[in-house]
Amino acid sequence: MADSAQVSKNSFLYPHSRYRGQFTPQNLAFDANLQEFAQRVSYISGLETGGKLSPEQAYEQVKSLWKQLKKSKKAMDIGIEPPETK
C-alpha cells in the first residue's frame, strides 16, 4: 500500500504528459526535459509569489534551468534538420 501511495503522490507532484510528436529517442528525452523544466518553473513561480523566494532568487533559478534546457537541446541536436538523402 505504501508503494501505491508514493506512486500516486509522485504522479500528482510530477505529472508527465504523453509525447505526441515525431518519435526519435532525442525528441522523447528532450520532451521529458522540457516537462521537468516547466514543472520546476511552476514551483519556483509559486515560491516567489508566496514570498518564500525573492524575485532575484527566482530569476536566477529559472535562468539556471533555462541554461540547462538549452544545453540539453544542443547536445541532442534538437531543431537541427538532418541533411537530405537522395
* Residues 68/44, Cβ–Cβ less than 8 Å: no
Distance from C-alpha of 47 to C-alpha of 36, rounded to nearest angstrom: 17
**Would you give per-residue pLDDT tens digits along the chain (86 residues)?**
567 777 676 666 666 678 888 889 999 999 999 999 999 999 999 999 999 999 999 999 999 999 999 999 999 998 877 656 54
Contacts 24+ apart (CB under 8 A), 11-18: 14/39, 15/39
pTM of the model: 0.76
